[in-house]
Structure 1
Amino acid sequence: MAATIPCPVPPDQRPQEEFTQLSQSWFFAWPRHRQIDLDKALLLSWLLIAPLTVLIASGSWSLRHDSIRLVLAGAVSGLVLPMLLLVRQWLGWSYVHKRLLSERVEYEESGWYDGQVWEKPLSWRERDLLLAQHEVRPILGRLGRAMATTTGLILGGASICQALSFR
């Protein structure tokens, strides 16, 4: 009978606990279940910032007298906020994904100066691998699709705005 190996890693630094903390976070839970939930949150963030970016764009002398380009430039620049939110979520989820896939857990007992490394037992590695593959990888896929869509919208909107300036 195999004895259970005591884990020296503080509970809040264990990869599974970090996954749980992200999953329960209001912000990081956006991409957790469905693409439409993430898209709604990003659309809401864009709708909240767009009036401000249009107002800022109205300070441009060349856009002030071209309302179509003004609104388009403001709308495109408003996409920067959703992109920043996506990048922050990507960083958080990819960090947890990396920790789940790792065979070792790096942790700190009491501060930055006493970093330790603990080798995960096989049962932990199997459980973490399943969690990474079936929970975190789909989240990263949803975030990747949302970042690609947002990048496409930014580039497309900027191209249209540029084309309108030559008419």
Structure 2
Amino acid sequence: MAEAVACPVPPEQRPLEEFEQLSRSWFFSWPAGEFPHLRRALLISWLMLLPLSTLVASGSWTLRNDPARLVAAGAVAALVLPLLLLMRQWLGWTYVMKRLLAETVDYEESGWYDGQIWEKPLSWRERDLLVARYEVRPILGRLSRAMALATGLILGGASLCQAL
């Protein structure tokens, strides 16, 4: 049985609660599940931006007369949105990871920027460490791989546009 600890940190500012909030969030839960769920969400965001980026690319006189390069340039430019979404998710999950791994919790008592620091008891640190290692670290790994893939596709697509 876990020991009862009087905690002055407001519940919504506790690292484990922040983890649970991200896990329940529509946006931040994409990488928390299976990789196909993340892939599907990123593919949809790419497809949504593809017509707009192709339309913007058609403003170029050189691309307007070269449909293959026009479509390739639009497809590469549309990859920026999925990459930005991945970066935002990575920042959110990294913030929670740092809070879970920290031995202290920084918090605001009244919301008036009166920052306080509370040292986590050993039982909280152990629990938070387990969550960080076995829940958050795999999520950050999936996000890192997805960002590397998106970056590789952007670089490869840019090289392809030059070669066409």
Instruction: Give the structure-1-normalised TM-score.
Output: 0.95
> What SS is found at the alignment partner of 2:152?
helix
Which position in structure 2 is the counterpart of 1:71? 71
2:94 maps to 94
Distance 1:42 1:49, change over 3 A: same
Cα distance, 1:100–1:3 mapped onto 2, change above 3 Å: closer
> How far apart are 1:35 and its partner, in Å?
1.2
AA partner of residue 21 (structure 2): Q
Q: Structure 1 residue 4: deviation in Å?
A: 3.0
SS of the aligned residue for 1:29 comes to: coil
Distance in 1, matches of 2:32 and 2:5, equals 31
Structure 1 portions without partners, runs of 5+: none
Q: Deviations over 1:15-69 (max 9, x none)?
A: 0000010000000000002111111100010011101100110011110000000
1:84 aligns with 2:84: yes
1:112 CA drift (Å): 4.3
Tell me, in whole angstroms, the C-alpha distance in 1 between the residues paired with 2:113 and 2:156: 48
Quick check: 1:160 aligned with 2:160?
A: yes
Give, as a single letter, the amino acid of the residue that structure 1 aligns with 2:126.
E
Tell me the equivalent position of 1:105: 105
Give the aligned residue type for 1:129: L
Range moving further from structure 2, 32-41 or 12-21: 32-41
CA distance in 2, matches of 1:44, 1:52: 14
- How far apart are residue 5 of structure 1 and its match? 2.6
The unaligned stretches of length 5 or more in structure 2 are none
Q: Taking structure 1 as reference, are residues 65 and 31 closer, same or farther at Cα in structure 2, changes over 3 Å only?
A: same
Pair 1:17 & 2:17 matched: yes
Structure 1 range deviating more: 111-120 or 23-32: 111-120
- 1 CA distance for matches of 2:18 and 2:33? 18
User: What letter is aligned with 1:130?
Assistant: L
Structure 1, residues 60-95: CA drift from partner, whole Å, max 9, x if none?
Answer: 111000000000000000000000000000000000
SS of aligned partner of 2:105: strand
Cross-structure match for 1:40: 40
User: When the two structures are superposed, what TM-score results if normalisation uses the length of structure 2?
Assistant: 0.97
CA RMSD for the aligned pairs? 1.2
Q: Which residue of 2 aligns with 1:136?
A: 136
> Displaced runs of 4+ in structure 1, greater than 6 A?
none
Identity %: 72
